[in-house]
Amino acid sequence: MGAAEAVESEHGRESELEQPVDFDFQGILRQIEEDVRPQIGAGQVAAYIPALSCVDPGGFGMAIADLDGKVYGVGDWQQPFSTQSITKVFALALALAQGGDDLWEKVGREPSGNPFNSLVQLEYENGIPRNPFINAGALVVTDRLQTLTGDASSELLEFVRQESGNPDVTFDPEVAASESDNGDRNAALAHFMAAYGNIANPIPALLDHYFWQCSIEMNCSDLALATRFLARHGLRADGTRLLPRRLAKQINAVMMTCGTYDAAGEFAYRVGLPGKSGVGGGIVAVVPGVCTVCVWSPGLDPQGNSVAGIAALDRFTTLTGLSVF
């Protein structure tokens, strides 16, 4: 392989971002909304976070953003909701972009097989979380981002504002306070990892940034647009490169295997796309080289994933054939 080919292989070319097929995304979304109507309202809202306990479980919205930033939506696609763990994708991308992939020395890339807030594996794995999308792993990533930037939550907020094109995206102070008031398990995770030398910053500050990060409110359009850099092989909305192709590929891979808590195998089986869910009811999914998708419906299954959201993404890949498999 010549030098020019090696550079192309690592960084990709803008011409490779062309969408290969022209889909009627608006028509597909209307069909999906009709097909999943019986699942809307199923499941339970995330009542363990008091600020989320009063959300109407009957909400449903879905949006698709193509590579050029055109957005198609249906239902409550412009209704802001609490992004929660979806922000872990953006924190991971920023930590890798600014600090390189030595981050993987502090957090693994394997599915956990346990609930997202479990302490079980940390003890017999010497304080190294299984992956960056369980809470322990996300705390390690936020800790790294705090070291790199000095203000992890503000850095992340500015990033999603820029990528979504929505300067009004902001934190929800009520949700942040609710998470802080009920954050004993996250504090336990952080202290346990600190005992193994896997946390660098003061734990109270780390938890504060983590809770503010999870409180960011966005709608389906915002999230679909903000996640496009993963469909664009690491290129940001303005055409500059956030990540080399290999790191964008890595994030997509970890989303596929770890992005839906301990139900990642079922998500891969039904949907077949890299995805990341949050207990606010949102799920983002990436079709590399084509588009990004965000769906929101706050009724959750026992693993913390949106019941109607997974059904909608299942229909999306069935109707379009846009699966990685």
Look up 261 and say whether it is catalytic.
yes
Look up 249 and say whether it is catalytic.
no
Tokens at residue 199, please? 């946390």
Computed from CA positions of residues 278, 281, 287, 293, in that sequence, does the dihedral angle turn out positive or negative?
negative
Computed from CA positions of residues 109, 98, 148, 280, in that sequence, does the dihedral angle turn out positive or negative?
negative
**Cβ atoms 308, 36 nearer than 8 A:** yes
The region, left, alpha or beta by phi > 0 then psi within -120 to 50, assigned to residue 289 is left
Look up 88 and say whether it is catalytic.
yes
Catalytic residue among 112, 254, 261, 290: 261
**Cβ atoms 139, 132 nearer than 8 A:** no
CA 55 to CA 19: how far, in whole Å? 37
CA 109 to CA 255: how far, in whole Å? 10
Computed from CA positions of residues 218, 221, 225, 230, in that sequence, does the dihedral angle turn out positive or negative?
positive
Catalytic residue among 210, 221, 254, 307: 210
**CA torsion, points 272, 221, 153, 203, in degrees to nearest 10?**
-40
Tokens at residue 207, please? 């938890």
Look up 269 and say whether it is catalytic.
no
**Cβ atoms 94, 145 nearer than 8 A:** yes
Cβ contacts of 72 within 8 Å, gap of 6 or more: 25, 26, 29, 63, 64, 65
What is the distance, to the nearest Å, from the Cα of residue 307 to the centroid of all Cα atoms in its chain?
Answer: 17
Look up 279 and say whether it is catalytic.
yes
Catalytic residue among 45, 279, 284, 290: 279
Catalytic residue among 45, 88, 297, 306: 88
CA 106 to CA 102: how far, in whole Å? 8
Catalytic residue among 85, 178, 215, 297: 85
Provide the CB-side half-sphere exposure for 290 (13 A, CA): 20
Q: Which residues are catalytic, by number?
A: 85, 88, 210, 261, 279
